[in-house]
A and B are shown apart, each in its own frame.
Chain A
């Protein structure tokens, strides 16, 4: 009998630059080693897959639009420590480039090139007034808990 493909499913809850770097490092490393990889983005994590990389008034009413603006996209993600009003992530990006370590943006590109499955959480999208069209086109589907459980069954799951 053929061995079942190894699988890892990540729940990307955080919108922090450093935690998202961990998500995409694990995801791309696993995919490159032959794993099937699923990433389920929820709450702050949704910032990572917004088509608009900077700040934008995404949302359905003034409150969610304001939230959308304050949350921003991938290029606005703050570090969980030493953020210093946005200077922290700039310093990290500089250090990563200088040391030839892949930046968060390069890791996201690699994830897409490797065909990693990206999913968005339906409930969090509803709360934040976001729609599938607000995300990068690589986002495969909008899911709820049950579908995620089905997809992740038989593999490892991590919450970051």
Chain B
């Protein structure tokens, strides 16, 4: 089981979602993906969208300023 990291803090809609989706498609079953994202649309919707697609959202934590960390398990 490996951990992967994806920073989408500098991305905008729709690439925030696109990059996360493509990364999740690449990693192996059971692996975790740590996504660094900002408040607003990504924070409000990315964890929800991941859950809807059958992934597990292990945690959502505040890093600093507008940046949050979401850990998703495939």
Asked if chains A and B come from one complex, the reply is yes
Q: Which residues of A contact B (CB under 8 A)?
A: 25-26, 28-29, 31-34, 99-102, 106-107, 110, 113-114
Q: Which residues of B contact A (CB under 8 A)?
A: 10-15, 17-18, 20-22, 45, 49, 52-53
Residue of B at shortest CB range from A106? B15
Give the A-B pair count, Cβ closer than 8 A: 50
Is A110 in contact with B49, judged by CB distance below 8 angstroms? no
Is A110 in contact with B53, judged by CB distance below 8 angstroms? no
Known: A31-B21, A113-B22, A114-B22. A100 touches B52 (CB 8 A): no
- By secondary structure, the A interface counts as helix
- Interface core residue of B11, B14, B15, B53 (most chain A CB under 10 Å): B14
Residue of A at shortest CB range from B45? A33
Known: A25-B13, A114-B18. 9 other contacts (CB 8 A): A28-B15, A31-B21, A32-B17, A99-B12, A100-B10, A102-B15, A106-B15, A110-B18, A114-B21
Is A33 in contact with B17, judged by CB distance below 8 angstroms? yes
Q: Give the contacting residue for A110; candidates B10, B12, B13, B15; CB below 8 A.
A: B15
Residue of A at shortest CB range from B17? A32
